[in-house]
Amino acid sequence: MAGKNKRDNLTRRKSELVRAAARARLGAVAPYSKFKVGAALLTASGAIVTGANVESASYGLTCCAERVALFTALTRGERNFVAVAVVARMRGGAMPCGACRQLLAEYAPRAIVWIADARALGAIREFSVRDLLPGAFRF
């Protein structure tokens, strides 16, 4: 029964987390691509930590929303993550890049990943981190 309650609670938090990612997206700094992304992490304690992408003229220095949220949470001492939502204005939503997938595999390996288009927040695609990066690098 405890497992069912946990799943039910997570289902209720899904739309909340997606909405938090959509709000975070508004803070994106994307002067070059104009492609704004927001992310929201749900911790095991129930906290939500958000982030948005920040671009650089040197694209390699750009930081994705998922990494901003993850780094913020980690530097606040959070270590247990339940889910992450990513929202962008793109049909079907934007999938995490390879670097974000690797970091999620390292720091949030059991998290559920929810992806949504900013224009259709109710249409949420769901993945596991393992689905996104089955052969993650391990040290």
Write down the pLDDT at residue 17.
Answer: 98
> What is the pLDDT confidence band of residue 138, given thresholds at 50, 70 and 90?
confident
Question: Residue 56: inside a domain, yes or no?
Answer: yes
Q: To the nearest whole percent, how much of the chain has pLDDT over 90?
A: 88
How many structural domains comprise the chain? 1
Q: Provide the angle, in degrees to the nearest 10, between the axes of the packed helices 98-107 and 65-75.
A: 30
Give the mean pLDDT of 40-53. Answer: 97
Q: To the nearest whole percent, how much of the chain has pLDDT over 70?
A: 95
Give the mean pLDDT of 21-42. Answer: 98
Question: Residue 55: inside a domain, yes or no?
Answer: yes
User: Do residues 37 and 95 lie in contact, with contact meaning Cβ atoms separated by under 8 Å?
Assistant: no
Question: Residue 104: inside a domain, yes or no?
Answer: yes
Q: How many whole angstroms separate alpha carbon 57 and alpha carbon 28?
A: 15
| Domain of 118, in residue numbers | 2-132
User: Do residues 37 and 51 lie in contact, with contact meaning Cβ atoms separated by under 8 Å?
Assistant: no
Q: How many whole angstroms separate alpha carbon 88 and alpha carbon 2?
A: 34
Question: Residue 36: inside a domain, yes or no?
Answer: yes
Question: Residue 71: inside a domain, yes or no?
Answer: yes
Q: Is 93 left (phi over 0), alpha (psi -120 to 50) or beta?
A: left
Write down the pLDDT at residue 121.
Answer: 97
| pTM score of the predicted model | 0.93
Arithmetic mean of pLDDT over the chain: 95
Q: Which residues are catalytic?
A: 66
Question: Residue 139: inside a domain, yes or no?
Answer: no
Return the CATH number at 92.
3.40.140.10
If you search the block for the tokens 């405890």, which residue do you land on?
2
Give the mean pLDDT of 38-46. Answer: 97
Write down the pLDDT at residue 65.
Answer: 98
- Reference 22, options 105, 90, 82; nearest CA is 90
Give the mean pLDDT of 59-88. Answer: 97
Question: Residue 80: inside a domain, yes or no?
Answer: yes
Is pLDDT of 1 > 80? no
